[in-house]
Structure 1
């Protein structure tokens, strides 16, 4: 969908895609991207183009951003017209995606459920869903609470902390790597390797190799000595996933589950710290922590935009002429803010989970229940252990990370006076 450069003596070829009408595509990347300004950008795109808008997701890489709630549901439910398989992407097939493109680590094909359709997707999803369903909820809650209390104790003596790096970022990583069957040290190495893989720089290949070595060693260990972890559950599932399929599905589960949960925890805490009325209603029992979690999923979904679907044929969709092979990006945050489904006055959405924060259709995130349990327990624990928690800076100074994909806080500095810590050092045992 991007435009080939003009050759000397020849006019530039008209942009392919966009139905020949050549609408101006809006960049959805770059250092100028401001998380606070993105909602206004989505509404401007909606006013200008309707529920489906032309954007660029990296230099020279055009795509369609699906903004409408109804259209996004259609996109996620219809695998006949909209495939997950990036090998259908026309730009990729035509060799027009640079090897160092920042979009490539997110959309390059791998043998994982995120990039499959139909029977192949159902086969891998069955294994992943069953592995997640085997998580003991009571044990997970105890593990999250113990991990949360250890982290709180590590900074309690200072009477201040930045809850993004010191709490929200550490807690899911420690819990999820444990669920995969990794020890904390190896889990931290995996986090660093995955982070290096997705940034698309000169070290990405080395980081990818390190990631593969760590996960392959884990798979070999669990084949010989299976346990009660997710990796072992995937290996013994009747779907008979290959080692390569297990490896790449573990990467998908970790990357999607970890960063989403980090953002969900931090943003929920921001709402509780910055909205006195909501915090009062929560303390008084009129609202629950789950209500706060749902408010975040509606207003500040941890994943803003998600790549991608690929049109399998030429079709009209959302008022645009889509060509076979075009990329369509799931505008989760924009669809949640669609005036057709969300009150425009900013009032809380309570008791309504028709948001699209976890996607929709057959590819709806299979990990949303454990993610909710981790987030709810993390928020509940810090509320009870640090009851007088308050922001250490003006609310206006809080900023989002600059990313078109992830909706996360850059920092959340807080202060408190008397932490209510357990009388004995926290452990994995219930108290």
Structure 2
């Protein structure tokens, strides 16, 4: 009798005593300490390790590269639907658990399998495909110039709150069709949800309310934005599906882009291979972008997959309904696949955007935003350098993301505020109030509110 693809029968005595679990949460764990924990878990348990992701909430952390590819791509053995999660079904997850905003079921592509996933992904992919890359680059540059101009005369700034956090807010809000004030409230609520505290559930409800108001507006007054595209797509998404797909895109897209921008700038400023020639060396900004996705992926761990049956996976006895966390950062560092000396520059086979049918559909616009943001500030502040020793830079305590808590820099003064037209739109050298050739005026009506919250 033929067996399903990838099937391995449970070993004798399957379902015995579960190995002791390690806490994958708490203020002592941040982007600096997590890599050592991954290697400790790998050395003790192999490619799949038992963890707890909240008090009393057990899961498996997938550390191995090959194992992660299988968990992410094999929908026969691993589901994306958290309603299959045995711990939740059995009532063992408190309603105020900080993990629920991440893994509670939503009618969104991240929580769907098969045809339902393909239907929603088609709508999301088509909406993202409508983004004009040249227009997006100009929008990012215009907002970046205004933000830089707001602190360029101060001789120094913390680039995290003044630049990396504000720029994606301005751009992604515009892509969604969201005005500045509700956009700012949305980002604040997402930050509270991302802290994985008791306030996470309340923040999640605030996020829903903001997005529902946006959907109501775009239902009757559609525009050239992602929200309108989803509402009016032939896939006929319900308003609830639009809400939760927007939420997934915004939560993942905004915070990941913030961390990607800040960490890339940190690498360019602090890594000797880049710092030795910040503007004309052999290692480029694209090399730095890729290095970050390998070594410091903005999403460290991605919840979740759920076993469809009992199986032996990565040397562990996984029970039907068990939760598996995709350890993107750990899998990137898997010594079984990592070449000696680490990833080569220009190598984009990392897992920072996930893998399989649920690979992030927004990675191209995310890269365009991040690359343009990095290019803009390096152009205008070419002598920028860290204001503290690299060892003093700290990471956010979170099991899910890897982001800096601050990025203080110092500099002498800016270059003129008009970046040469790398997209072919112009070569002007404006002074910060003129447009130059092919550039929009800083503070123009098209970028109202570009100074950020």
TM-score under structure 2 length normalisation: 0.88
Partner SS, residue 57 of structure 1: strand
* Deviation, structure 1 residue 18: 8.8
Partner SS, residue 256 of structure 1: helix
* Per-residue deviation, residues 333-355 of structure 1 (Å, max 9, x unmatched): 00000112223434x52121111
Find out whether 1:430 has 2:439 as its counterpart: yes
Segments of 5+ residues of structure 2 without an aligned counterpart are: 1-12, 418-430, 441-453
Distance 1:230 1:187 in 2: 14
Partner SS, residue 31 of structure 1: coil
2:169 aligned to which of 170, 173, 195: 173
1:220 equivalent in structure 2: 216
Find out whether 1:332 has 2:328 as its counterpart: yes
* Deviation, structure 1 residue 283: 2.7
Distance 2:278 2:192 in 1: 39
Find out whether 1:365 has 2:373 as its counterpart: no
* Deviation, structure 1 residue 21: 3.5
Find out whether 1:400 has 2:409 as its counterpart: no
* Deviation, structure 1 residue 86: 0.4
Query: Taking structure 1 as reference, are residues 80 and 390 closer, same or farther at Cα in structure 2, changes over 3 Å only?
Result: same
* Deviation, structure 1 residue 186: 1.9
Partner SS, residue 93 of structure 2: coil
8 Å Cα contact 1:85-1:117 kept in structure 2: yes
* Per-residue deviation, residues 36-73 of structure 1 (Å, max 9, x unmatched): 12111111111111100111111101110000001100
Query: Taking structure 1 as reference, are residues 302 and 201 closer, same or farther at Cα in structure 2, changes over 3 Å only?
Result: closer
Shift >6 Å, 4+ stretches: 426-429
8 Å Cα contact 2:96-2:201 kept in structure 1: no
Partner SS, residue 304 of structure 2: strand
Distance 1:427 1:326 in 2: 57
* Deviation, structure 1 residue 198: 5.0
Distance 1:206 1:396 in 2: 35
The residue correspondences of 1:32-111 to structure 2 (distance < 5 A) are 32-111=28-107
2:118 equivalent in structure 1: 122
8 Å Cα contact 1:153-1:421 kept in structure 2: no
CA RMSD of aligned residues (A): 1.9
1:270 equivalent in structure 2: 266
Distance 2:404 2:117 in 1: 33
* Deviation, structure 1 residue 206: 5.1
Distance 1:119 1:427 in 2: 48
1:239 aligned to which of 225, 235, 240: 235
2:148 aligned to which of 147, 152, 163: 152
1:193 aligned to which of 172, 189, 195: 189
2:450 equivalent in structure 1: none
Query: Taking structure 1 as reference, are residues 384 and 84 closer, same or farther at Cα in structure 2, changes over 3 Å only?
Result: same
* Per-residue deviation, residues 242-275 of structure 1 (Å, max 9, x unmatched): 1111011101000000010011001101111012
1:388 aligned to which of 383, 405, 410: 383
Deviates more, 1:227-236 or 1:190-199: 190-199
8 Å Cα contact 2:31-2:395 kept in structure 1: yes
8 Å Cα contact 1:146-1:426 kept in structure 2: no
8 Å Cα contact 1:305-1:330 kept in structure 2: yes
8 Å Cα contact 1:149-1:426 kept in structure 2: no
8 Å Cα contact 2:67-2:314 kept in structure 1: yes
Count of residue pairs the alignment pairs up = 414
Query: Taking structure 1 as reference, are residues 186 and 351 closer, same or farther at Cα in structure 2, changes over 3 Å only?
Result: same
Segments of 5+ residues of structure 1 without an aligned counterpart are: 1-16
* Per-residue deviation, residues 80-123 of structure 1 (Å, max 9, x unmatched): 11001000000000000011111111100011111100000000
Query: Taking structure 1 as reference, are residues 321 and 117 closer, same or farther at Cα in structure 2, changes over 3 Å only?
Result: same
Partner SS, residue 303 of structure 1: coil
Distance 2:52 2:199 in 1: 25
Distance 1:403 1:205 in 2: 16
Deviates more, 1:103-112 or 1:198-207: 198-207
Partner SS, residue 154 of structure 2: coil
* Per-residue deviation, residues 289-334 of structure 1 (Å, max 9, x unmatched): 1111001000111110010000000001111110000000000000
